[in-house]
Structure 1
Amino acid sequence: MASRCTTRGRRRSAMSANPHGYTFNHTMIRVKDPRASLAFYRDLLGMTLLRQIDVEEGAFSLYFLAFMDEGDKLPEDEADLREYVFSRPGVLELTHNWGTEDEDGPVYHSGNGEPRGYGHIGLAVPDVEAACRRFADAGVRFIKRPEEGRMKHIAFIADPDGYWIEILSARAMAGR
């Protein structure tokens, strides 16, 4: 029997209500080489580096990225910038533990091999096929192309550390 996704009949409890002011701010992934990851997320996907924090005593760096609308400007005041980064939705935090870029092979588990865990990031684009052509031209590794499998309206690509990124169109997901 084919599975079917439905939202009918969902009940909201008091505990699942969205308390005023809550926002899904960011998710964090660990990266082996920040140069490769920044080239991927910033230069290829088009995200903006909002802020970088280097923590010498911990030997790690944090990179906060997000998509910004044309004309948006980052606050110049440091406190205002911190508040902006930690209050806006849709931030990706890349954590780099210094020295991992010099290690051979993969350093982190993406969650998509055994044992399974973390799955993927979702990226909405206006046109999945056009985005996939752009990614293919840039040499991005595909996990799934739109023409593969049963779900023809999505694709999956991999970032430099092997984390999966789902490429989707909101219109296609709505059946339009």
Structure 2
Amino acid sequence: MEFKFVHNNFNVLNLEKSLEFYKEALGFTESKRIVADDNSFILVYLTDGKSEHLLELTYLTDRANPYDLGENEFHLAVETDDFDASYKKHLEMGCIVFENKAMGIYFIADPDNYWIEILPSKK
């Protein structure tokens, strides 16, 4: 028996705002959308265009309150081929929430405060 990663899920409060953030911050684009027959939810799958792994954004149409992420002790990690340019862009966007210069990484937060770790390429 074998398993492989397919996607991670983040529930989002404002789908359009989240889609704009992921496009601008990381270049992720929509690869698939599922709308419930009763319009109670929308699932949008984002791709980096390079790997098979997807980020699923779940939008519950009647949700009005932000999600409680607890202590937010989880994150998604992505690798960039130009760490310095990525850092500059995210600094300009104001979305950097934590830096670990000793490890050479930093974290950004999306509109719902999910953290994404930015790693330099392992070239």
Name structure 2 gaps, 5 residues minimum. Answer: none
Write out aligned runs for 1:139-158 (5 A).
Answer: 139-140=94-95, 142-147=96-101, 150-151=102-103, 153-158=104-109
Q: Secondary structure at the match of 1:96?
A: strand
Partner of 1:109: 68
| Number of residue-to-residue matches in the alignment | 123
Aligned partner of 1:90 in structure 2 is: 53
> C-alpha separation between the residues in 2 aligned to 1:30 and 1:129?
30
The offset of 1:169, in angstroms, is 1.4
Q: Is the 8 A contact 1:23 1:89 kept in 2?
A: no
Counterpart amino acid of 1:24? F
Cα deviation digits, residues 6-55 of structure 1 (max 9, x gap): xxxxxxxxxxxx72xx3211011100000110001123311120011110
Cα gap change, 1:58 to 1:35, in 2 (>3 Å): closer
Ranked by relative contact order (alpha carbons within 8 Å, sequence separation 6 or more), the top structure is: 2
Structure with higher helix content: 1
Q: Which secondary structure does the structure 1 equivalent of 2:38 belong to?
A: helix
Structure-2 separation of matches of 1:165 and 1:62: 20
Q: Deviations over 1:38-89 (max 9, x none)?
A: 00112331112001111033600000011115xxxxxxxxxxxxxxxxxx73
Structure 2 CA distance, aligned partners of 1:56 and 1:42?
A: 27
Structure-2 separation of matches of 1:91 and 1:65: 6
Quickly say closer, same or farther: Cα 1:138–1:45, change in 2 above 3 A.
same
47 and 155 in structure 1: CA distance in 2 versus 1, 3 angstrom threshold? same
| Equivalence for 1:129 | 84
Structure with the higher strand share, 1 or 2: 2
RMSD (Å) for aligned C-alpha atoms? 2.2
User: Identity across aligned pairs (percent)?
Assistant: 31
Distance 1:145 1:167 in 2: 10
Q: Which has the larger radius of gyration?
A: 1
8 Å contact kept, 2:82–2:121: no
2:49 to 68, 86, 89: 68
- Paired residue type of 2:66: V
Match of 1:6 in 2: none
